């Protein structure tokens, strides 16, 4: 008998589809890093990982707290008395102490201007698991969600792969610092309707990954009015809420909802509003897989809670987090110190780049900068962007993420993560960029003082916006044809974070 160990035909369509994005050429960057990872002493010429949005700058504070509070772990001599009870706990509502502590933490991160109800906290395996559960609750296969570009590459996998919903880009560009406009929103919606796609909602990431910017209250209100007018959902991924290191301060959709609900003229339906949260970025604990879905819709809370059985947070982790997050003095100090350290690293990094004539989009949040290298492209095309990106990996030995992986419509932008390394490594990364710019002979070319690109560049790009609109959705919907684009289609990309 012949055993077909690799016969894909025996597997499901989901398992064998490439919607996970991992076959994308962009993974070459990760491979390059994995094959030759930088180490200060053991491999100083290796590739520096700047494609990972991790917050490692304040982990020492958590380590110190853990050392001082051995009872917070059920696996220590001091905490073992709780071992049996916690090890046996498996209720999908979660430990009440955990939900209470996380609800309080979410309020604190939002300046206590709004309070969260522990009974609306639903657990997920990171924001990844929480957001997929939410998609399963809100949409059926083929339904669409509008998403402003550029957006987190793994949304293609997390929100779409297994749920089979479609992501419909709302085109944003550098002419107004990638802010979402009413026109772009309406146009994306109208295009979807014209293509017979049922639009179920709008997904935003605030603060933005990859831009590192926050949305102002007026924009959020416009979005709220829009989704209420169309009677569709709004999903706000706020997992970078506590990474704010500069003004303006962060405004959560929960605050806007609170304000609009009290305005009798607003006619807002809170049941359309859902928040995705996680401790992966704000506390730098992506390995703990703590994801939260907070919904103002009772039916969503109830369905998502049943679904959460597929991706619960371990009771040991819940127990530990309930202890640490209930220590208000620690939380206060941690948030303030973390923000100071992010501000410092961001400043060092952006100033270092400025010395080389490289500008970044002005930002106040996140663990990365959105770096503008369009001056280094021979032509404004995504092929050129890919060539430059390959050069940065092979010659400069930095793994950064190209803008096309974020569905950015303008070639030449790169996301560079700055919080997943120590000071010395950050310094070496800057030195390598310096050497690269000198080699390219572009150091003395000063970048324009603002972030806007030249008018001719913008004009060139405008031609491409509408044509790229449905490039990504084509992968899901053969009904929507992609018109010819002057830019090659940016492949769907998997970036890990």
Tell me the catalytic residues.
Answer: 152, 237, 239, 281
Contact 416, 369 (CB under 8 A): yes
Residues 6+ away with beta carbon under 8 Å from 433: 352, 353, 356, 358, 396, 398
Q: CA-to-CA distance for 230 and 348, rounded, in angstroms?
A: 44
CB nearer ligand PLP, residue 254 or residue 460: 254
Site size for ligand PLP (CB under 6 A):
14
Figure out which of the listed residues 205, 213, 295, 338 binds ligand PLP, where binding follows CB under 6 A. Answer: 205
Sequential DSSP letters for 136-162: HHH--TT-EEEEESS--TTHHHHTTTT
Regarding 464 and contact with ligand PLP (CB under 6 A), the answer is: no
Figure out which of the listed residues 24, 55, 278, 494 binds ligand PLP, where binding follows CB under 6 A. Answer: 278
Residues 6+ away with beta carbon under 8 Å from 484: 467
CB nearer ligand PLP, residue 127 or residue 273: 127
- Residue whose beta carbon is closest to ligand PLP: 126
Regarding 254 and contact with ligand PLP (CB under 6 A), the answer is: no
The minimum distance between CB 235 and ligand PLP, in angstroms, equals: 11
The answer for 164, left when phi > 0, alpha when psi is -120 to 50, beta otherwise, is left
CB nearer ligand PLP, residue 101 or residue 239: 239
What is the crossing angle of helices 96-109 and 315-326, to 10°?
Answer: 50
Regarding 127 and contact with ligand PLP (CB under 6 A), the answer is: yes
The minimum distance between CB 326 and ligand PLP, in angstroms, equals: 21
The minimum distance between CB 374 and ligand PLP, in angstroms, equals: 24
CB nearer ligand PLP, residue 59 or residue 377: 59
CA angle 292, 294, 300 (to 5 degrees): 115
From the list 11-19, 109-117, 278-286, 400-408, the region that binds ligand PLP by CB under 6 A is: 278-286
Q: CA-to-CA distance for 124 and 130, rounded, in angstroms?
A: 4
From the list 126-134, 299-307, 338-346, 384-392, the region that binds ligand PLP by CB under 6 A is: 126-134
Regarding 206 and contact with ligand PLP (CB under 6 A), the answer is: no
At 174, list the tokens.
Answer: 């550098």
CB nearer ligand PLP, residue 209 or residue 399: 209
The minimum distance between CB 124 and ligand PLP, in angstroms, equals: 8
- Sites for ligand PLP among residues 136-155 (CB under 6 A): 152
Residue 220: which H helix or E strand, with range?
Answer: helix 217-230
The minimum distance between CB 360 and ligand PLP, in angstroms, equals: 18
Rg (CA), the chain: 23
From the list 5-13, 120-128, 267-275, 310-318, the region that binds ligand PLP by CB under 6 A is: 120-128
Q: CA-to-CA distance for 176 and 188, rounded, in angstroms?
A: 18
Nearest to 452 by CA among 68, 176, 187: 176
- Sites for ligand PLP among residues 219-248 (CB under 6 A): 237, 239
Figure out which of the listed residues 174, 219, 280, 464 binds ligand PLP, where binding follows CB under 6 A. Answer: 280
Q: CA-to-CA distance for 320 and 217, rounded, in angstroms?
A: 35
The answer for 407, left when phi > 0, alpha when psi is -120 to 50, beta otherwise, is left
Site pattern 388..407 for ligand PLP (x: CB under 6 A): --------------------
Figure out which of the listed residues 79, 201, 212, 286 binds ligand PLP, where binding follows CB under 6 A. Answer: 286
The β-bridge partners of 122 are 293
HSE on the CB side for 466, CA within 13 Å?
7
CB nearer ligand PLP, residue 170 or residue 376: 170
Regarding 53 and contact with ligand PLP (CB under 6 A), the answer is: yes
CA distances from 261 to 120, 173, 254, 265, 266 (A): 18, 32, 10, 9, 7
Regarding 291 and contact with ligand PLP (CB under 6 A), the answer is: yes
CB nearer ligand PLP, residue 430 or residue 492: 492
CB atoms within 10 A of CB 161: 17
- Sites for ligand PLP among residues 340-379 (CB under 6 A): none
CB nearer ligand PLP, residue 325 or residue 433: 325
Could you list the residues that contact ligand PLP (CB under 6 A)?
Answer: 53, 126-128, 152, 205, 209, 237, 239, 278, 280, 286, 291, 497
């Amino acid at each position: 008998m012949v055993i077909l160990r690799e016969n894909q035909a025996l597997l499901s369509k989901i398992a064998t589809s490439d919607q996970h994005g991992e076959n994308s050429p962009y993974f070459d960057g990760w491979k390059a890093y994995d094959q030759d990872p930088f180490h200060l002493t053991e491999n100083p010429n290796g590739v520096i990982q700047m494609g990972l949005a991790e917050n490692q700058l304040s982990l020492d504070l958590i380590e110190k707290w853990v050392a001082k509070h051995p009872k917070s772990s059920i696996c220590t001599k001091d905490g073992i008395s709780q071992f049996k009870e916690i090890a046996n706990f498996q209720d999908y509502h979660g430990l009440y102490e955990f939900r209470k502590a996380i609800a309080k933490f979410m309020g604190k991160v939002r300046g206590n201007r709004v309070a969260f109800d522990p009974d609306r906290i639903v657990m997920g395996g990171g924001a990844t698991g929480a957001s997929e559960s939410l998609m399963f609750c809100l949409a059926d296969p083929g339904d669409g969600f509008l998403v402003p570009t550029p957006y987190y590459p793994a949304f293609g996998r997390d929100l779409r792969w297994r749920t089979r919903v479609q992501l419909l880009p709302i085109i944003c560009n550098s002419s107004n610092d990638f802010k979402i406009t009413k026109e772009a929103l309406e146009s994306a919606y109208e295009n979807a309707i014209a293509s017979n796609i049922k639009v179920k909602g709008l997904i935003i990431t605030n603060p933005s990954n990859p831009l590192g910017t926050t949305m102002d209250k007026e924009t959020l209100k416009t979005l709220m009015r829009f989704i209420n007018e169309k009677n569709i959902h709004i999903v706000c991924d706020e997992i970078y809420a506590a990474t704010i290191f500069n003004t303006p301060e962060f405004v959560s959709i929960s605050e806007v909802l609170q304000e609009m609900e009290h305005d009798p003229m607003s006619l807002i339906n809170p049941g359309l509003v859902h928040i995705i949260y996680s401790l992966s970025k704000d506390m730098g604990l992506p390995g703990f897989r703590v994801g939260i879905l907070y919904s103002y819709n009772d039916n969503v809370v109830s369905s998502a809670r049943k679904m959460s059985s597929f991706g619960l947070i371990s009771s040991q982790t819940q127990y530990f987090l309930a202890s640490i997050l209930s220590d208000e003095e620690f939380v206060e100090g941690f948030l303030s110190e973390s923000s100071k350290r992010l501000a410092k690293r961001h400043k060092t990094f952006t100033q270092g780049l400025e010395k080389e004539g490289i500008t970044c989009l002005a930002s106040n949040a996140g663990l990365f900068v959105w770096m503008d290298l369009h001056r280094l492209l021979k032509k404004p095309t995504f092929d050129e962007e890919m060539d430059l990106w390959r050069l940065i990996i092979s010659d400069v030995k930095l793994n950064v993420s190209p803008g096309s992986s974020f569905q950015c419509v303008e070639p030449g932008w790169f996301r560079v993560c700055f919080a997943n390394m120590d000071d010395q490594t950050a310094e070496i990364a800057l030195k390598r960029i310096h050497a690269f710019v000198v080699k390219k002979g572009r150091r003395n070319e000063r970048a324009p003082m603002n972030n806007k690109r030249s008018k001719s560049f913008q004009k060139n790009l405008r031609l491409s916006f509408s044509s790229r609109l449905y490039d990504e959705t084509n992968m899901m919907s053969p009904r929507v044809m992609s018109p010819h684009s002057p830019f090659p289609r940016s492949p769907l990309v998997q970036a890990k974070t």
